[in-house]
Structure 1
Amino acid sequence: MNYLTAVHTDVGIRKKTNQDSALVMEATTDKGNVLLTVVCDGMGGLAKGEVASAAVIDAFSKWFENDLPKIVGSPDMKDMIFRSWEKIVFDMNRNISSFGKRTGISLGTTVVACLFAGNEYYIVNIGDSRAYCFSDRTYQLTKDQSYVQREIDMGRMTPEEAETCPKRNVLLQCIGASEYIEPAFYNGSMVSGQIFMLCSDGFRHVITDEEMYERLNPFVLNNEQQMKDNAVYLTELDKYRREQDNITVVLVRVE
């Protein structure tokens, strides 16, 4: 597979610093092209959320450069990817938590990472950043680890109520601020023409799945400039609608 990519991040209308971080890395291997995308949404006192998100991004970058070449093409490739990612998030949870205790600052970060290799994608998620796929319609690939998602799953809240709930930003776990974390892993097949998206929660709070699909479906995104332009358009729409958070989006078109 080949890939077209676009990345856009914006500090938004309220915060003074952008605590989101994003990563896109591609390499050519004996098994074809592989692509790693990561979005982290940092949070913390004294604007230290960007420290947490950048640290996790750096860990995944080093994994891509140093560990992935030994994994690609292995018979148990999926298990090796997920085991190594589990070690990354456990190590980073311990390191960021220790840093917070030493400095007296509460900080942490979400992470959603997606590796594209061969005809498959591999995802790890902690928190409420998300991965989507756009083909014939909008598919949400990850489930939020959040208070409102738990209430929805328990039948105590509707999705419509969750959109306006004062606790909609409360996470059940995130890297660095949770004593115990349980990463969620996802794996699936992909075909040429699909669009994949990773985003922080600030990107999708005030726009609908229908609005995302209108601008991000495979029939309107045929090159990287169109991908970038529509990512910017939706980000500006977020800001026009008074989204308060940082905004980050990564787009991938599978070719």
Structure 2
Amino acid sequence: MTGTVVPACTSHFVSHRGSVRSLNEDAYLEAPDLGLWAVADGMGGHEAGNLASRLVIDALDAVQPATAPANMIAQVQEQMAAANRHIRSLSEQRLQGRLTGSTVAVLILSGQTAVCLWAGDSRVYRFRDGTLTRLTRDHSRTEEMIALGLLTTDDEADPRYANIITRAVGTEEHVELEQRVEPLAANDVFLLCSDGLTKVVTDAEIAAMIASGWSSAAAGLVDLALKRAATDNVTVGVVAFSGTDDDPPTLVRA
């Protein structure tokens, strides 16, 4: 677990392999000096997913400081295009053509703007004035069925479709990141997570955990997922804007 404090933001991330899997194929990035955070969830098994998510995060770690959100967005898109090429090359050269890839959910805070960029079913939420809002839309077969009116909630999803992702980094020749831009308000709290959390924890429980104290929410949500015998890797990151920590700002590492 790590935490970082900068004048505008404080963040805490926790990642665990879960109760079943022997390898954690999730990865995450905290780059508060850039106003950049991300979660990646690798797919493919046998360490392929671990390599894919690591390539995604390493590519994002190469992003340079920028003065405007548009410049940051352009860099993230370029780096994800590069990661896409690297993962496809990995598949061809080291994995005998076996398909691998990684979801990615990116949060950029720049000026008075919050930007989400994503591919797959890792998510970004915003907690504002007591209300939790999901800012990302899953690229999944389940979400497609909801959009078509065949399902009304994730809870009704056919288990056969639960793990079918329709967009990710490395699975197609070109990667397309979906984008959402929102105004940033004082006291906004953002949560990034892999689907290992949302498979076993509800949005209402996420909101309640943040409301009870955001600085312990990442650890608390991972613990809750583990108590429910999480079958997937679980990664949770919480980012608070404008000094909304429960305690005075200090540098925390653990």
Aligned residue for 1:173, secondary structure, equals coil
Judge conservation of contact 2:59–2:82 (CA < 8 Å) in 1.
no
Q: Distance in 1 between matches of 2:120 and 2:52?
A: 14
Judge conservation of contact 1:10–1:248 (CA < 8 Å) in 2.
yes
Residue 238 of structure 2 corresponds to which residue in structure 1? 251
Q: Distance in 2 between matches of 1:250 and 1:89?
A: 20
Give the deviation of 1:82 after TM superposition.
2.4
Aligned-pair RMSD on alpha carbons?
A: 1.7
CA shift digits 1:20-40 (9 cap, x unpaired) = 00111122xxxxxx4210100
1:89 maps onto 2:88 in alignment: no
Q: Distance in 2 between matches of 1:199 and 1:26?
A: 17
Aligned residue for 2:161, secondary structure, equals coil
Q: Distance in 2 between matches of 1:184 and 1:200?
A: 16
Aligned partner of 2:233: which letter?
N
**Matching of residues 124-163 of structure 1 within 5 Å:** 124-135=117-128, 136-163=130-157
**Percent of matched pairs sharing the same residue:** 27
Aligned partner of 2:124: which letter?
A
Q: Distance in 2 between matches of 1:162 and 1:107?
A: 28
Give the deviation of 1:179 after TM superposition.
3.2
Correspondence for 2:26 among 13, 17, 20: 20
1:205 maps onto 2:178 in alignment: no
Equivalent residues, number? 233
Residue 245 of structure 2 corresponds to which residue in structure 1? none
Judge conservation of contact 2:106–2:118 (CA < 8 Å) in 1.
yes
**Matching of residues 1-255 of structure 1 within 5 Å:** 2-27=8-33, 34-63=34-63, 67-68=64-65, 71-72=66-67, 77-103=68-94, 104=96, 105-135=98-128, 136-163=130-157, 165-217=159-211, 220-221=212-213, 227=215, 229-255=216-242
Aligned partner of 1:21: which letter?
A
Structure 1 unpaired stretches of 5+? 28-33
Aligned residue for 1:175, secondary structure, equals coil
Q: Cα distance 1:236–1:23, how it changes in 2: closer, same or farther (>3 A)?
A: same
Tell me the TM-score normalized by structure 1: 0.86
Judge conservation of contact 1:100–1:107 (CA < 8 Å) in 2.
yes
CA shift digits 1:52-85 (9 cap, x unpaired) = 111111111111xxx32xx31xxxx333332222
Q: Distance in 2 between matches of 1:53 and 1:191?
A: 31
Q: Would you tell me which structure has more helix in proportion to its own residues?
A: 1
